[in-house]
Structure 1
Amino acid sequence: MNSATATSIETSNGSASVSRRSGHDVTQNEPNDRTNGNGTATTKTPKKPGQKYRHVAAVHKQMRPSCLSHDSDAAPSFIGFRNLMVIVLVVGNLRLMIENIQKYGVLICVRCHDYSRQDIYLGLLLYFLIPCHLLAAYLIELAAAQQARGSLKRVNDSPSGGPSEQERRRFHKTWVVVAWAHLFNITLALVLTTWVVYFKIHHPLIGTLTEMHAIAVWLKTASYAFTNRDLRHAYLHPVEGERELVPELYTQCPYPQNITFSNLVYFWWAPTLVYQPVYPRTDKIRWVFVAKRVGEIFGLSVFMWVASAQYAAPVLRNSLDKIASLDLMSILERLLKLSTISLVIWLAGFFALFQSFLNALAEVLRFGDRSFYDDWWNSESLGAYWRTWNKPVYTYFKRHLYMPMIGRGWSPQAASFVVFLVSAILHEILVGVPTHNIIGKITYPGSWLHGLTLAGVAFLGMFLQLPLIALTKPLENMKLGHTGKIVGNTIFWVSFTIFGQPFAALMYFYAWQAKYGSVSKQMTTVSS
């Protein structure tokens, strides 16, 4: 049977097996036309037919939960759902982009801007003048180091081998003078910058970058002063065992050998706010890695600019009439829409700053410790989020404020209160000063908004995190397993996307637009 299908039935021990083959297949006794490499014909032996399948096989042999049930032994992989969510996110945003362009057209304009030459000139001037206060801190520490060398020499030359009462008074006097000099220096740096930004720089972006630079240098200068104060104390009290408390890493550059200009310049550029005489360093610079991070910074910066101009600006303008008429449903819809846009821009800014910029800077400086953030997106409470999303700031306040207060007998709750108070003030300076809305009134005739005072939104948004942290902290301590983690993470994301800092930043941007920007022009037209 060459053209038909052949079927053979073989019986063995009462069982039957069925084998099928096409007419073009060779039988077991037919020679195979194939040859091996030597030209010798070879035969192919077919596999032995298996036994007939029985319909009595046991399928349900044990008790098993559904894979999505909480009592399942192993959690299933959600990679497929993740891929689906990415596709839905991309498709949904493409639809919104098309709808936005059809409704408003292309709003991106390279030449359209609200900044002036004065903003640029003052911003550049402050950029170069702000580090001078760090240089002033270096000169203060250089004088203190010279004083410490002389004091230690006098102590070693004394018959008692220890500091006399007069020398101890000199130690204290030097400490007081150095502390006041540092306090005046860092306060002057922040006050001058804040005054210029608030009264002279109009554009909020330029003001924010300038204020961010000033706050970073302010924190670095304070860390430089605090750390060298403790190192100087250990240097002057070797008999009391103070030097044993200094980390072993610092022995590579002990005090006062660390008081050099090159050491200060490295700390100025290092992607950290905490001063150390020595940092872990890598062996070489990976320039390809740097180029990739720079490309990410450029791409994300363009994305944030496009998202702000094409999406945030129309939503802000269209929100004005809804808020003025107290249309609550429309206000809620606009609030959710603003929260979505602010979240997307915030996430892009987070990645550009903490992943791309800080890693590129660390690679150029061969800075080894690059733990700039942890997996804050998995936070089970607001407290876990604040500990993981911005580790340079978290480690700074833990080292220079929280732990010293705990060491002096303060309770953890009181120390946390002070930390959040200082952080709230810095947030207000960072956001409220560049937008000129620390305390301001909105002018909108014919609306309940007219005369409304906006004061300390960033401060309140940061300071009110304390009760929210207290509410979500029990979820960290409760042994609820997977359910508790889901509930805590959900509460975190809801509070973060709607009531968090992104919304406060948009409130300031909204107020700035209402007073100075394009929304202000629209309000003037409406009122006239």
Structure 2
Amino acid sequence: MSDLDHGSGPVTRRRRKTLSSCGAATAQPTSGSKVNEKRAKCGQSPVKSRAEGDCHVLQESLLSSASGYSNYRGILNWCVIMLGLTNARLCLENIIKYGILVDPIQVVSLFLKDPYSWPAACLIIVSNFFILAALYTERRLAVGTISETTGLILHSLNLTILLIFPTALILSVTSITPVGSFVSLGIYTVLFLKLYSYKDTNRWCREIRQAKAKRLTRSHSYMYYFIFVPTLCYQLNFPRSSRVRKRFLIRRLLEMLFLMQLLVGLIQQWIVPTIQNSMKPFQEMDFSRMVERMLKLAVPNHFIWLIFFYWFFHSSMNFVAELLQFGDREFYRDWWNSETVTYFWSNWNVPVHKWCLRHFYRPLLRKGTNKFMAKTAVFLLSAFFHEYLVSVPLKMFRFWAFMGMLLQVPLAWVVSHYLSGNYGNAAVWISIIIGQPVAVLMYVHDYYVTHNESST
């Protein structure tokens, strides 16, 4: 008779000693949980209880969501390899078709038309006037030589001129280039947000402390420290790191230099030819070709956008923060996991989100505005600055960026109400990948048509 009786009653076995506690078999009868505990300690898979000789148990297919399986590392590796091969083919096709178009020297012409005239640099230098105006206004408010009403008027006038002055200069000076204009307006926009926060924070401190604010006055050096640190929100004392990490600083600097060259090369080699080939379908209103051009532009545009994100929000901001020993390094959060449009806009650019929350969204709520209207107002403000940074340098007003930002409001509502989980995340990714090429092509088409008409 065999050791195991297939009859009705249990069969008693003799105990057998094993050489190792992780051996393949032990004759000692143990419960299923104890067996699984031993197998877990040995790095083995748990055994499901089944009758001896049976090969089937109640279980789900591995790719079913009910199976609880989550290790898709091999599939992720496959996706990365396929993505790499696909982009390698596109790069090779581009080089065979157009040759090598990368020219670092040509980049200088994007900033300067005349090597003896630097209007964008002069415009940036003049911005110091607005910084000093805000500083001296706050000093007068701190010692009580001017009233709060007068201070508010002076700050409002300073901030209004700060936005109008560069716009008027860019639109009137023909020697300033679109790229130089964009950089200058970007600096003025950041300065506007910083000085607005500077005004609000000092006013809140005076209201809370009810003090004549020799305690609140700040030196020129502290004011300029706030101007240069990578944040838009002012406070009386910033968190500081204990030391400058030289290796970290060098790594970020090398990343900045390498990624900047990569961005310029990809734009020259990949984006410019694709856009040039897209003008004819747009002029002829060939819808199928327009869609094909847009999809062809989506891949390099999105790739460049991702590189720019890493270059700006990780490499550049961390470099400046480390150099100035600025302690708060939360420049972005996990926006790539966004399941709603609102979550994406709240987490991909944390400095702007913090500013909007602190100086715009919450003040609106305190004034009695409901949350939906306050969120819509935030998108309106963002739409204004997006259009401001695009239309003024191009010297044409088409409002594509403005409308693109406003469309985020209904898109956010649809995604949050009808999609969730992976479907919501996919919707966010699609809006990022497809939305940007559409806006780029619309502006380039209008710029091309406008300049061709003016030249003819």
TM-score for both structures, normalised by structure 2? 0.83
Aligned partners of 1:435 and 1:509 also within 8 Å? no
Aligned counterpart, 1:208: 182
Aligned partners of 1:231 and 1:255 also within 8 Å? no
Match of 1:467 among 391, 410, 428: 410
- Letter of the aligned partner of 1:362 in structure 2? A
Cα deviations across residues 192-251 of structure 1 (Å, max 9, x unaligned)? 11222233254222211111000000110010001101111223279xxxxxxxxxxxxx
Aligned partners of 1:140 and 1:181 also within 8 Å? yes
Q: Does 1:233 align with 2:207?
A: yes
| 1:82 Cα deviation from its structure 2 partner | 2.1
| 1:89 Cα deviation from its structure 2 partner | 1.8
CA distance in 1, matches of 2:407, 2:103: 38
Q: Does 1:86 align with 2:80?
A: yes
Aligned partners of 2:202 and 2:216 also within 8 Å? no
CA distance in 2, matches of 1:266, 1:143: 21
Match of 2:371 among 412, 425, 433: 412
Give runs of aligned pairs for residues 331-346 of structure 1, distance below 5 A.
331-346=290-305
- Letter of the aligned partner of 2:182 in structure 1? T
Q: Which runs of 5+ in 1 are unaligned?
A: 1-12, 15-49, 149-172, 239-253, 439-454, 477-483
CA distance in 2, matches of 1:456, 1:199: 20
Q: Does 1:191 align with 2:164?
A: yes
* CA-based RMSD: 2.8
Match of 1:179 among 152, 155, 165: 152
Cα deviations across residues 272-296 of structure 1 (Å, max 9, x unaligned)? 0000111111111111111111111
Give runs of aligned pairs for residues 191-340 of structure 1, distance below 5 A.
191-200=164-173, 202-236=176-210, 256-340=215-299
Match of 2:442 among 484, 490, 507: 507
| 1:63 Cα deviation from its structure 2 partner | 2.1
CA distance in 1, matches of 2:269, 2:70: 40
Aligned partners of 2:346 and 2:353 also within 8 Å? yes
Q: Does 1:109 align with 2:103?
A: yes
Aligned partners of 1:382 and 1:468 also within 8 Å? yes
As a proportion of its length, which structure holds more strand?
1
CA distance in 1, matches of 2:156, 2:359: 15
Aligned partners of 2:142 and 2:216 also within 8 Å? no
- Letter of the aligned partner of 2:190 in structure 1? A
CA distance in 1, matches of 2:214, 2:55: 73
- Letter of the aligned partner of 2:434 in structure 1? I
Match of 2:422 among 473, 486, 497: 486
- Letter of the aligned partner of 1:103 in structure 2? K
Q: Does 1:67 align with 2:40?
A: no
| 1:257 Cα deviation from its structure 2 partner | 3.8
| 1:507 Cα deviation from its structure 2 partner | 2.9
As a proportion of its length, which structure holds more helix?
2
Once structures 1 and 2 are overlaid, which stretch shifts more, 360-369 or 64-73?
A: 64-73
Q: Does 1:458 align with 2:420?
A: no
Q: CA 1:79/1:510 → structure 2, altered by over 3 Å: closer, same or farther?
A: farther
- Letter of the aligned partner of 1:214 in structure 2? Y
Cα deviations across residues 360-398 of structure 1 (Å, max 9, x unaligned)? 111111111111111111111111111111111111011
Aligned counterpart, 1:355: 314
Count of aligned positions: 410
Q: CA 1:59/1:88 → structure 2, altered by over 3 Å: closer, same or farther?
A: farther
CA distance in 1, matches of 2:54, 2:135: 78
CA distance in 2, matches of 1:307, 1:274: 34
Cα deviations across residues 341-374 of structure 1 (Å, max 9, x unaligned)? 2211111111110011011111111111111111
What's the secondary structure of 1:433's corresponding residue? helix
Aligned counterpart, 1:432: 391
What's the secondary structure of 1:466's corresponding residue? helix
Q: Which runs of 5+ in 2 are unaligned?
A: 4-23, 26-50
Cα deviations across residues 95-154 of structure 1 (Å, max 9, x unaligned)? 111111111111222343454027961111122221331121001001111117xxxxxx
CA distance in 2, matches of 1:497, 1:57: 55
Q: Does 1:147 align with 2:144?
A: yes
TM-score for both structures, normalised by structure 1? 0.72
- Letter of the aligned partner of 1:421 in structure 2? L
Aligned partners of 1:431 and 1:505 also within 8 Å? no
